[in-house]
Amino acid sequence: MVVSFAAHHVLFLVWFLPATFSLSFFFFKAESISNVSCNERDKQALLTLKRGLTDHERVLSSWSDHKDCCIWDGVLCDEKIGRVSELHLNNSKLSGEISGSLLQLEHLNYLDLSGNDFNCTPIPTFLGSMFSLAYLNLTSANFCGLIPHQLGNLSSLRYLSLGSNSDLYVDNLRWMSGLSAIQHLDLSYSDLHREVDWLQIMSKFPSLSELYLYYCQLDSLNPSLGFVNFTSLRVLHLSENHFNHEIPNWFSNLSTSLLKLFMYGNSLKGNIPPSIFNLEKLEFLDLGINSLNGPIPSSVGNLSCIRALYLDQNQLNGTIPKSLGLLSKLETLFVGKNSFTGTVDEGHFRKLSKLKKLYMSEAPLFFNVNSNWVPPFQLDYASMSSIKIGPNFPSWLQSQKSLSFLDMSMSGISGKAPGWFGNWISNITFINLSNNRIECDVSDIFLSSTVKVLNIANNTFYGPISTFLCQKKIRKNKLEVLDVSNNLLSGELSHCWKYWQSLIHLNLGSNNLVGGIPYSMGALVNLQSLRLQNNSIWGDIPSSLKKCLNLRLIDMGDNHLSVIPLWIGEITNLIVLRLRSSEFKGYIPQQICQLSSLRVLDLANNSLSGSIPNCLKNISAMALPESYDISFSYLSSFMYSYANVSYAENVQLVPKGNELEYKENLKFVRLIDLSSNNLSGSIPVEISDLFELRFLNLSRNHLMGKIPEKIGSMKELESIDFSRNHLSGKIPPSMSNLTFLGLLDLSYNNLSGRIPSSTQLQSFDSVWYIGNPQLCGDPLPKNCTIEDQSLNRSPIGSVEDDSKNSSFYIGMGAGFSTGFWAICGALYFNRTWRHAYFGFANEIKDWIYVTTMIKMNLLEKLRACLNK
């Protein structure tokens, strides 16, 4: 379960922005229908403006010479004087040039050009001469470059919104002092880091009420200032800057009228100062996604107006204070992903009757409430994963009638689910109760058309799957994700799949399912992943599945299936095909090469015979580098997102001899595993065109002939296992180019000659070369004769890699990962460093994938570390 908080915070932003202007717009619009007539000069100025603009959607079609300009769309006039006073041209898909003719509109006080596309041109400097402007909105209009100082001349300006443009910056902000009337200032997403005195400048505006400076690359809140007098401030939004210091003392007397304070996604350190709770009118406080530590001060109970409190994703510890339970207006409480200890009980929620959203996941807390507790709240969002709630089923849930999101995965709940459970969950949109030990007969579960995600993986759900799938009361379901893997479901897959056509992700793995794959599964045309692994399913894969053209992932490993169907080549979107250990016989069909998006081909441990198709280079996803966009859409194919929460596929693979589980990092894997079959013939030379392949395992077959000469051009390879075949000839010298190789097993073949020298090939243990009686040279104990030497020379200079790092590798004399671990292992797990580069890779086992993604960074780091 991954919860995407960035998205959440952004959504949040949208709904508190004031709606006053849209209201006034309608008001003026109504008025303008009266008999005002347009000033001719204004009209000509507007027509000139129109000529300069590109009007893709013809929103300016009413702007014609024949009509009164006061009734043109987007134009409002001041009735008394018949002059144009407002231009509402927002979100109109306009581009082109903003004409200086605007200057003729001497009475214009409102100009909204937000949400258009001015193609990364600078903000016109003449706007700074439109002295009557009170409102200027250039938000999201794709302006670039320096924000013109001339804007500082607009002394009547009350609203200035320049946020969310592509690439705006300031050299300084001193020019702003002229904006003496400013009330609402939004410079978000502009680079302000060059102005160190931004705070002193902004706090001089006597009427400033709302200040939005998120994503502004600001470095400091100037903690040394004793006092900052933001007299009238009501909204302060400083999120996503780089304040990696403590919350300054001056926050406590920021402004007694402050209602909203947002500072998430900085790197704020230290404790939460109790004095911040002196801001007693606060309704929204967001200090999430920082590095704050220490406890939540109990004076948090003084925030009597607070409606949303975000303290999630910090390093806060200690127990959660009971005074939280006094915050009777609280609707949203986010405290998850912290290091809290101790117990949370009824007292913490005593007066929280308005609470709707609770995020408490991933904090080592014990949620210990009485079994007859009836909470004062009705939650709609409850994220309580990885905290201790069990062993008993949380009976208070029964009182919650409005839940749309429930995550109580990994919360230690065990034993029988209560009788009301099966019906109760039927109206929750997103359910994740995975990784508990809940016992429940699946046929007791009812799913209305509201439920989109049901993840009950790794529990003790039992009963025949057909009873569940075929129940009458479930037929109207609109389920998109069903994960019941790792339970005790039994019996044959039913013929009721036509009732489950909304399914996108289906995981029935690791149950006790038997019988064939029914033809009716072809009805699942929306399916993107089909997981049947680790059951006792037998027989043919029905050809009806070729109708499931959206399939990205097929996992049928560990069953008793028969042959790989030829039509598999028609499922052209397939990215992962895992059929290992499933008793497949016959040949690997050439059609597999039509799967140009395939990145994981795992057919290991079957009885496949014949030769390896010589067309594998057609699998372009393994042959060609890809753009960032493709990689992004690839990631999303294994990720189901609903609102701001998601479900991610996890797949078991064996990249380097050990089975590993891949989740988000699946996108870095490119693997061919054909090991432990009955394959014969030689390794097709075309395989060396798979330049993006990372893991290649052909071991334990009957392959003969030579290792392809150009294998060294597969520069991304991290692991090669050709062991236990009948390969003969020399080890190709080009292998010394494989600088990322961490595993090379050539044992038990019939290779001969000298192991190419002056490369990391010597760093591998000799066991990876044994069983080749005619192989000689380091690291094998057998010395080479003169003859061996002359036959297979690989001088230092022959490494054709011209990248600046190759000499580094050669000098290192160790396999990349070996050397890496020996020298810089500790650095690798340095927390901040790791987070900076990998974010999600929080398991040690993930690291191999991420190294390939960021290898340049890694090399720099490694070098720096070696130079110490």
Ligand X SMILES: *[C@@H]1O[C@H](CO)[C@@H](O)[C@H](O)[C@H]1NC(C)=O
- 464 binds ligand X per the rule CB under 6 A: no
CB of 404 to ligand X, least distance (A): 25
Contact with ligand X (CB under 6 A) among 165, 241, 323, 487: 323
Tell which positions 199-218 bind ligand X, by CB under 6 A: 206
183-213 burial, b at 16+ Cβ within 10 Å, e below that, comes to bbbbbbbbbbbebeebbebbbebeebbbbbb
CB of 693 to ligand X, least distance (A): 25
Give the interface segment with ligand X, choosing from 29-37, 293-301, 625-633, 784-792 (CB under 6 A): 293-301
261 beta partners: 236, 285
Copy the structure tokens of residue 195: 């102005």
CB of 137 to ligand X, least distance (A): 4
* Contact mark string toward ligand X, 154..193, x via CB under 6 A: -----x-x----------------------x---------
Q: How many CA atoms lie within 13 A of 454 on its CB side?
A: 26
Tell which positions 383-412 bind ligand X, by CB under 6 A: 410
| DSSP secondary structure letter of residue 26 | H
CB of 233 to ligand X, least distance (A): 11
458 vs 507, beta carbon nearer ligand X: 458
156 vs 267, beta carbon nearer ligand X: 156
- 229 binds ligand X per the rule CB under 6 A: yes
Contact with ligand X (CB under 6 A) among 119, 231, 614, 805: 231
| DSSP secondary structure letter of residue 637 | H
Q: How far apart are CA 253 and CA 694, in angstroms?
A: 57
435 vs 851, beta carbon nearer ligand X: 435
- 680 binds ligand X per the rule CB under 6 A: yes
420 beta partners: none
Burial class (CB in 10 A: 0-12, 13-18, 19+), 16: middle
CB of 52 to ligand X, least distance (A): 21
**Beta carbons within 8 Å of 739's beta carbon, 6+ residues apart:** 715, 760, 801, 805, 806, 809, 816
Residue 3: what are its φ and ψ, rounded to 5°?
A: -110, 125
CB of 279 to ligand X, least distance (A): 10
Q: How far apart are CA 432 and CA 430, in angstroms?
A: 7
Give the interface segment with ligand X, choosing from 295-303, 306-314, 780-788, 834-842 (CB under 6 A): 295-303
328 vs 378, beta carbon nearer ligand X: 328
DSSP string, 801-863: --STTHHHHHHHTS-HHHHHHHHHHHHHT-HHHHHHHHTT--SGGGHHHHHHHTHHHHHHHHH
436 vs 466, beta carbon nearer ligand X: 436
Contact with ligand X (CB under 6 A) among 96, 115, 708, 732: 115
- 260 binds ligand X per the rule CB under 6 A: no
208 vs 799, beta carbon nearer ligand X: 208
Copy the structure tokens of residue 44: 């000509």
38 vs 235, beta carbon nearer ligand X: 235
* Contact mark string toward ligand X, 11..50, x via CB under 6 A: ------x---x-----------------------------
Copy the structure tokens of residue 759: 């490369």
Helix residue ranges per DSSP H, 710-793: 786-791
Tell which positions 433-462 bind ligand X, by CB under 6 A: 435-437, 458
- 252 binds ligand X per the rule CB under 6 A: yes
Radius of gyration of the chain (CA): 33
- 750 binds ligand X per the rule CB under 6 A: yes
Determine the residue with CB nearest ligand X: 301
In this structure, the dihedral spanned by the alpha carbons of residues 231, 233, 237 and 241, taken in order and rounded to 10 degrees, is: -10
Q: How many CA atoms lie within 13 A of 556 on its CB side?
A: 24
- 607 binds ligand X per the rule CB under 6 A: yes
- 114 binds ligand X per the rule CB under 6 A: yes
36 vs 113, beta carbon nearer ligand X: 113
Order across the sheet with 512-515: list the strands.
414-416, 437-441, 460-464, 488-492, 512-515, 536-539, 560-561
690 vs 735, beta carbon nearer ligand X: 735
Burial class (CB in 10 A: 0-12, 13-18, 19+), 370: exposed
Give the interface segment with ligand X, choosing from 98-106, 174-182, 432-440, 523-531 (CB under 6 A): 432-440
Question: Measuring CA to CA, how many Å separate 135 from each of 13, 105, 820?
Answer: 21, 14, 58
- 298 binds ligand X per the rule CB under 6 A: yes
Q: How far is CA 35 from the centre of its chain?
A: 55
CB of 289 to ligand X, least distance (A): 23
- 757 binds ligand X per the rule CB under 6 A: no
338 vs 436, beta carbon nearer ligand X: 436
Strand 210-212 versus strand 167-169 pairing type: unpaired
User: Which residues of the shown chain bind ligand X in the complex (CB under 6 A)?
Assistant: 17, 21, 90-91, 114-115, 137, 139-140, 159, 161, 184, 206, 227, 229, 231, 252-253, 275, 278, 298-299, 301-302, 323, 410, 435-437, 458, 486, 607, 609, 678, 680, 726, 728, 750, 752
